[in-house]
Amino acid sequence: MSPPVAIITGASQGIGAGLVAGYRGAGYAVVGVALSFPPSARDESDYVEVAGDIADAQTARRAVDQARDRFGRIDTLINNAGIYIGKPFTDYTLDDYAAITAVNLTGFFHITQLAIAEMVEQGRGHVVNVSTSLADRADSTRPSALPALTKGGLVAASRSLAIEYASRGVRVNAVSLGVVQTPAHDRDSYKGLDALHPLGRVGEVADVVDAILYLERATFVTGETLHVDGGQAAGR
């Protein structure tokens, strides 16, 4: 029997790379999508890399085609790719707006539309959208209206799609994250951010991977937003 197949965007580093490892460890074949990948000489039967701009419809098409043609199915799509630009609202530029909406919204739209069409044909599937708890609980010390606009939109879309496609076997959920430490940033850059979370620490990549794999196994859960934020959304 062929293994289940996941498409993961933003797969080259940080949370995305952790998700690739986590899903492969869970027995999935994975199609990783990112703007670029580090050079690799490995030829792996259960992993394919698709390099390209996720905001480009052709990148989305190549990722879905690779999953279907090489592995024969698409069981899961994780929309992990995202851009965070935090600044006072009146300081945002048109370039900021274009960059953040291209990845956070346009990229989501292209690949999710194609993946759900495949899932409906199969009669099953699961989409997970990665958001931020700043969309639920604003922080005056960290102005971030554009991330809230775009990532908050993914939460709303998750609920809408969950209801639209529930009768056709497709589940859609979201995870809203607090500050998550990744190897892409120096550890010193996270100093002082523990205090943003009631649990008193920043998140780790493994926290996110565990949460998303839980949603993968939780087949009676759809339309849910799981906060992986150390209690940030609940209050402080």
- Tell me the per-residue pLDDT of 153-176, one tens digit each, with 9 for 90 and over: 999 999 999 999 999 999 999 999
CATH code of domain 5-234: 3.40.50.720
- Tell me the per-residue pLDDT of 197-216, one tens digit each, with 9 for 90 and over: 989 999 999 999 999 999 99
CA nearest neighbour of 137 among 149, 153, 148? 148
What are the distances in angstroms from CA 192 to CA 76, 140, 195, 196, 209? 35, 16, 6, 8, 24
Q: Is the pLDDT of residue 87 over 90?
A: yes
Q: How far apart are the first and last CA of the chain?
A: 48
The bridge status of strand 76-79 relative to strand 47-51 is unpaired
Q: Is the pLDDT of residue 41 over 70?
A: no
What are the distances in angstroms from CA 164 to CA 119, 171, 218? 13, 10, 19
Count Cβ atoms below 10 Å from residue 86 Cβ, excluding itself: 14
Q: In percent, how much of the chain has pLDDT > 70?
A: 99
pLDDT band at 139 (very low <50, low <70, confident <90, very high): confident
Measured distance CA(19)–CA(52) in Å, rounded = 19
Q: Is the pLDDT of residue 135 over 60?
A: yes
Count Cβ atoms within 10 A of the Cβ of residue 135 and give its class: 0-12 exposed, 13-18 middle, 19 or more buried: buried
What are the distances in angstroms from CA 150 to CA 61, 172, 210? 22, 17, 24
Tell me the pTM: 0.95
47 bridge partner residues: 30
